[in-house]
Structure 1
Amino acid sequence: MASVRLDNVRKVYDNGQVGVQGASFDIRDGELLVLVGPSGCGKSTLLRMIAGLEAISSGDLYIGERRVNEVAPKDRDIAMVFQSYALYPHMTVAQNLAFGLKLRGHGKDEIAARVAKAAATLGMTQMLDKLPREMSGGQRQRVALGRALVREPAVFLLDEPLSNLDAKLRHSVRTEIARLHRALGATMIYVTHDQVEAMTLGERIVVLNEGAIQQIDTPMALYRRPANLFVAGFLGSPAMNVLRGRLQADPALSLLLDSGERMALGEAAVASDWLGKPVAVGIRPEDLRVVDAGAAGFEALVESVEPVGNEAFVHLVGAGQTLVARMSPDALPEVGQSLRLRPTPAALHFFDGDSGERLQAG
């Protein structure tokens, strides 16, 4: 396996459009790193540049200690798994797994050993004689993984490999990929637009938007301390609630909302020099509590209730906007009911109301 290093890697197309804006980060040997962001953010372009399928406009890319900007894809010692399975329909599983090795001139005995090892690792030993049309979507995606696995590459690149699977199969194959990574200790770079996949698979996550890196950190660090409003809203399901207004201290800290209401913030930590300035206050749905009438907080009207098993998402209108609260399913409010809500002060996130960047605690 090998590490990967990007040093100010950029992609600018012939029409002047910037696909990737100066990406710089390291992927450790044996790490599973996820590139995540909305459609068009540059994550697949970045992966294709690492693969050699997209030319690098400027910057340097290293796999191990070797600069590979001008190295052909076949010579980069990488294997790629795509969104589509791209299996040869007339070939059996064994033949699909072996085909790439044959093209590279490996001997029959080595090919047979690698195919058998990959099939055993992925639980496909009994499927080697099947054709792709005789298999489920999840099984075919495992064959695609196996085709990369037999290569024994330095780096695995996975470009939205679960997008064509239904929810149950996505969970199953996602678990398979995580198990495979642990077993192999392989260096993997995984692209997805699904923040659940990113949070459950990645040892670290690179969040991209409009070609620019927004933040790089572990899944829970991103969730607990997002660097800006984009990351705060993108990671987390349901998304973080954001209330806009100006900080007041009269004498206790409060937020004068744009709607004209005032929300007490208790002992929340934010720099005092932001008093009177426009801020955005982020509240995760689990940190929005129902309190007794007359307690500090604000009124909100229940619009809909979504029970999802061991929890429920309550959609409300309050403070001049829509909000979501995560609640226990045991005592749910009725649609149309008015609730008094108060956020947990210690769990609040403060952002610059104009730039969206996170504010430091006071």
Structure 2
Amino acid sequence: MATVSLDRVRKLYPNGHVAVDEASFDIADGELLVLVGPSGCGKTTLLRMIAGLESISSGTVSIDTRVVNEVAPKDRDIAMVFQNYALYPHMTVAENLGFGLRLRGKARAEIDRRVSEVARLLELESRLDARPAALSGGQRQRVALGRALVREPKVFLLDEPLSNLDARLRASMRVEIARLHRQLGATMIYVTHDQVEAMTLGQRIVVLDGGHIQQIDTPMNLYQRPANLFVAGFVGSPAMNFLRGQLRRDTQWQLDMAGALLPLGELPAQASALQAWLGREVTLGVRPEHLQPVAAGNAALAATLEVIEPVGSDVFLNLRHGEHMLVARVPPGELPTRGSVLPLGFAAAHLHFFDAADGKRIA
């Protein structure tokens, strides 16, 4: 396998659009790194620059310390799995798996060995004589993965490989890819817009927006300590709740939302960092699982219940508090009625604070 390093990589198109701006990070040998962000954030462009399918305007991409900016894609020793399966319909599974090796002039015995190993790994042994039209969506995706695996490249690049599958197949293929990575110890760079995929697959995650890297961290650090409002709102489903106002302190910390005071408690862990923000605009964030119905005497705020979403193991309560839309995640059971006013509370330890002007976390 290999290491991959990006140093201030930039992509500027002739029309002046900057798709990727000053992207710098290192991928360790054997790491599974995920690039995640909304459509148009630059993640696929970044992956294509690593693959050599897109030119680099400035900066460098290195594979095992070798700068590959001017190296042809076929000479970078990478394999790419695309969003569409791109299988040859007239070829069998075995022929699809071995086609790239035949183009590279590998011996027949070597091709058969690699195809057999990969088919066993992906549980495709019984389908080697079938053509793509006879396969399920999940089997076709496994063939597309297998075509990359047989090449035994230094780096695997996966560009939204599960987006064409239904929800059940996506879940099972996520497990499949994680298992493959663990077995192979391969260096993988995985692109997705689905933050659930990113959180469940990535050892580290690069969050992008507007061509800029917003944060690089482990899944749980992204969730528990988002660097800014974008990451806080993008990572997590349902998204984090936000309340904006002036930070005040009397006998306890408070958020002044246009005259309505939201009590925040003592905030022992955050007090020293927040001292400089007294009287300034901040955005308060709280995850849906940390915003809970409480007894009226313990409530920090009251909100009107507008929509109930039962999703099995959880129930999402969609509420309105003045101008703010909020979501609370609660366990299934006896539920309040729509239109009722719920007293809500939160633990101070689970609150997040951000600069209302630039969105950065107040640490």
Residue 125 (structure 2) aligns with: 125
Residue aligned with 2:339, SS? coil
Q: Give the C-alpha shift of residue 24 in structure 1.
A: 0.3
Residue 116 (structure 2) aligns with: 116
1:221 aligns with 2:224: no
Return the TM-score normalized by structure 1: 0.98
Q: Is the 8 A contact 1:267 1:346 kept in 2?
A: no
Tell me which amino acid in the other structure corresponds to 2:358.
S
Give structure 2 stretches of 5+ with no counterpart: none
- Structure 1 segment 43-62 matched on structure 2, within 5 A: 43-62=43-62
- Structure 1 segment 102-251 matched on structure 2, within 5 A: 102-251=102-251
Q: Choose from 336, 352, 358 the match for 1:349.
A: 352
Partner Cα separation in structure 1 for residue 87 and residue 313 of structure 2: 40
1:315 aligns with 2:318: yes
Q: Is the 8 A contact 1:299 1:319 kept in 2?
A: no
Residue aligned with 2:265, SS? coil
Q: Give the C-alpha shift of residue 309 in structure 1.
A: 1.3
Tell me which amino acid in the other structure corresponds to 1:298.
L
Residue aligned with 1:265, SS? strand
Partner Cα separation in structure 1 for residue 322 and residue 214 of structure 2: 28
Q: Give the C-alpha shift of residue 319 in structure 1.
A: 4.1
Residue 333 (structure 2) aligns with: 330
Task: Give me the identity figure in percent.
Answer: 65
Aligned residues: 359
RMSD: 0.8
Tell me which amino acid in the other structure corresponds to 1:256.
D
Tell me which amino acid in the other structure corresponds to 2:292.
R
1:306 aligns with 2:305: no
Tell me which amino acid in the other structure corresponds to 2:314.
E
Q: Give the C-alpha shift of residue 295 in structure 1.
A: 3.1
Partner Cα separation in structure 2 for residue 80 and residue 152 of structure 1: 12
Runs of 4+ in 1 over 3 A off after TM superposition: none
C-alpha distance after superposition, 1:197-228 (max 9, x if no partner): 00000000000000000000000000000000
Q: Is the 8 A contact 1:257 1:319 kept in 2?
A: no
Tell me which amino acid in the other structure corresponds to 2:170.
R
1:277 aligns with 2:280: yes
Residue 264 (structure 1) aligns with: 263
Q: Give the C-alpha shift of residue 37 in structure 1.
A: 0.1
C-alpha distance after superposition, 1:245-272 (max 9, x if no partner): 01111121011114x3211111221421
The more displaced of 329-338 and 107-116 is 329-338
Tell me which amino acid in the other structure corresponds to 2:165.
L
Partner Cα separation in structure 1 for residue 86 and residue 79 of structure 2: 14
Partner Cα separation in structure 2 for residue 345 and residue 193 of structure 1: 31
Residue aligned with 1:139, SS? helix
Q: Is the 8 A contact 1:261 1:319 kept in 2?
A: no
C-alpha distance after superposition, 1:296-332 (max 9, x if no partner): 4111000011111121100000143110000111232
